Every structure is written in structure tokens, then in C-alpha cells.
Structure 1
């Protein structure tokens, strides 16, 4: 073989090698892109890895959803975990502080692939984002179900369980449809939060307004102030509005304190109401309603509680 032929052979082999290398780079880039996704949320747009291995969760509704999905997490705020999520109290999970005071050092030590927050941590979003990709998945109570579904669909995409999420949401929608039928017979209802003996009322589009806005139970009044802490009311207000159904959420039972709701409502004014006289005062489970709303498990239980109250 002469020198010219040898040179051509070397050139040909070099071209093949470079082409192969270029192809590998392209495949690598495509694989990298397919392993991440951009999540658009209330506080911004965040690139997150699909199927993150180390996840820190600050929202108990999201935590109960991940549990339902069979997704393990690395860290949770253990201080006020609802009893139905007690498995996360074990040493298998890192304690990352409280809902309002994250342990930034512990989170940095974990070096999570993803941090999930909601309303109580939103002011700390930037600080948490400096540690790891952080997304906000809190429920917007003015559009509860739409917001809830959006959050669940994000989880479905991130953890590649879209079919499972679709099936679970379909079950929840079916339960709500059945509840709405029962709610047609209700004249009116009132939701109150009891906190150390004091009462706050919640109406449509409020923190607990899902009872009115989604489940279909008419409110005893449409002008109840919409706020996180509700509208402060007296026991005379209960007598004045005289609700057919009274739903009580006991904050003291959820976080601790001295005056339980049943003790506070055991008075002569409450006994004048139709709700009391017809045994239609329902003490809702604060673990679902106060601590962990917006989860696959908690929303299902919320539906079940209201449905049971109408039977």
C-alpha cells in the first residue's frame, strides 16, 4: 500500500471517530435534558431532576401524597406531624426543623435534589433555593380543586407517575360528585375554627371554603371575611345565624393548648342553635383540615367526613 492510500485511510478513520464522538455528545445532551424538567409555580420557574432521590418536604399534604405514591423522602419537619403521618417521626428521616423555622444547616447537610414548600415557608424561598432546587406547591384556597390538581400533576410528572395521579384524581372527583348530590338537601352551614375558646368563621373562598365552593354546601352568610385567620365571631353570632350544620375545626387539638373546642362550645348559647338541637355539629379532624390539607389522602378524608355528616 503506497503512502497516499495510507494517508487517505487515516483521514477516513479520523472522520468516523469524530462523527462517533459527536453522536455520543448529542445522545448525552438529550439524555441530560430528558432527566430534568422545568416546574412553573407561584414563586418562579425551577429546573428539577426527574425522580429525585433526596427530597425534603415542608408541606404535609404533599408528604401524604408522596406516601400514597410510594415515594420516599429524606427529610421532613417532625415537630407537628399529624398522627397519620407518624412513620416520618422515625430516625429513617432527617428532622429539618419546623414548618416556620427550617433547619438550614441540616438541609444543606442532606444536600437534597429537591425541596418542596408551601405557604408557611414562601418567604424563605430564595434562601432555600440557594441550597437546592425549590418549588412551591401550596393550595390556592380561592380555586382549591384546580390548584390541588395542578400540584398533584406536578408530582406525577416529577416522579413519572402521571397515570397513577390521574386515577387517584378521578376517584376523588367521583367522591365529590356523590357528595354534591347529598349537599343539595342542606339549607345552610357554617365553618368555625376554635382556638383556645375563641371562634373564627370561614366562608366561601376561605382556607376551609372547600366545603362551600367544591362540596356544594351553602354558606350561612356570603359576606364572611376572607382571610387566613378567618373572621372573629362571638357565640351570639352562632345564635343569630343559626346554621343547620356547624363544622368545627379545633386548632388546639392540632397544635396543643388548654381549651378544647368541645369544651368551648358547651354553653347555653350554642345549645340554642339548630345544629346543636339536631345533633348536626361536626368536629372535623384537624390533622386533615388544619395541618395537611391538599393531599391525596387528606382531601379524600375531608370528603369522607363531610359526606358522613350528611348521612
Structure 2
């Protein structure tokens, strides 16, 4: 279901008519249900694999992303290559994302993995949060 959401945004992103063609969706997760009422324009991703999925679909409204190493502000080489012209902010190491930094970025969608399910409630208070186990 999550990938259907990506594909629909990706196909519409090319024409820049995201908000005109987006339809509300409910995404059912193992641990919650998430209502998406509008197309996302400010995404924070908590796993670099989301960037690798979103880039080929021409979905580039990413504001923040986690890094793969503790203490590093560098993104993966592939992520940097795909998003070199975008202003993406580091929100910390993916094992310990900086919730205050995420709040500052004012995301309208957070994409996470089930590995950080312990943060789901806190993240959901910031923005709709979608994840997988």
C-alpha cells in the first residue's frame, strides 16, 4: 500500500499537479492507520532507502534525512548524487534521529522503518508518519 502512494505521487510530480490529482488515502500499518489528506511537499525520511525509492519516481520534496553513521552529517553517496541540487538537512543518525531538528523542518510526512517503532508516537505528533516493519 505504501508503494502505491509513492507511485501515485511520482507519476503526478512530473506534471507539477500533485495537489490537484491527489486523493485522500488511509494507509494501514501493522501498528497504526495513517490518514493522508493531501500530497506531501515536505518529507523527512529516517532511512536512506526511501531516498533511493523516491528519486526514480521524481519525488524530491525531501527536507530532511538521517545519516547512516553515528556522528556523521554525511548522507550516503547514492543519496548525495540523487539529491545534489536539493537542500536536504541531516536529522541525525538513523539509529538516533534528532526530533527537535525534525520539528524545525516542519514536515508534512515522515517515512520511517519499523526498527524505530519506539519513536512512532513522538513522530506522529510532528506529522503523519508512515513506516514498515
- Residues 63 and 49 of structure 1: CA distance in aligned 2, closer, same or farther (over 3 Å): farther
How many residues in Structure 1 have an aligned counterpart in Structure 2? 106
CA–CA separation in structure 2 for the residues paired with 1:50 and 1:116: 15
Please report the TM-score for the alignment, with normalisation by the length of structure 2.
0.69
Determine whether 1:57 maps to 2:52.
no
Note the C-alpha offset of 1:83. 1.9
Determine whether 1:37 maps to 2:25.
yes
CA–CA separation in structure 2 for the residues paired with 1:124 and 1:40: 18
> How do 1:1-311 and structure 2 match up within 5 A?
35-72=23-60, 73-80=62-69, 81-87=75-81, 88=83, 92-138=87-133
CA–CA separation in structure 1 for the residues paired with 2:132 and 2:39: 17
Note the C-alpha offset of 1:120. 2.7
Deviations 1:80-104 (A, max 9, x none): 4332222357771011111111111
Note the C-alpha offset of 1:35. 4.2
Instruction: Determine which structure has more spread, i.e. the larger CA radius of gyration.
Output: 1
Structure 1: segments with no counterpart, 5+ residues:
1-33, 139-311
Deviations 1:81-140 (A, max 9, x none): 3322223577710111111111111111111110010033111101111111101134xx
- Residues 49 and 95 of structure 1: CA distance in aligned 2, closer, same or farther (over 3 Å): farther
Please report the TM-score for the alignment, with normalisation by the length of structure 1.
0.31
CA–CA separation in structure 2 for the residues paired with 1:121 and 1:67: 23
Q: Retained in 2: the 8 A contact 1:78–1:89?
A: no
- Residues 96 and 89 of structure 1: CA distance in aligned 2, closer, same or farther (over 3 Å): farther
- Residues 112 and 37 of structure 1: CA distance in aligned 2, closer, same or farther (over 3 Å): same
Partner of residue 3, structure 2: none
Structure 2: segments with no counterpart, 5+ residues:
1-21, 70-74
Deviations 1:249-269 (A, max 9, x none): xxxxxxxxxxxxxxxxxxxxx
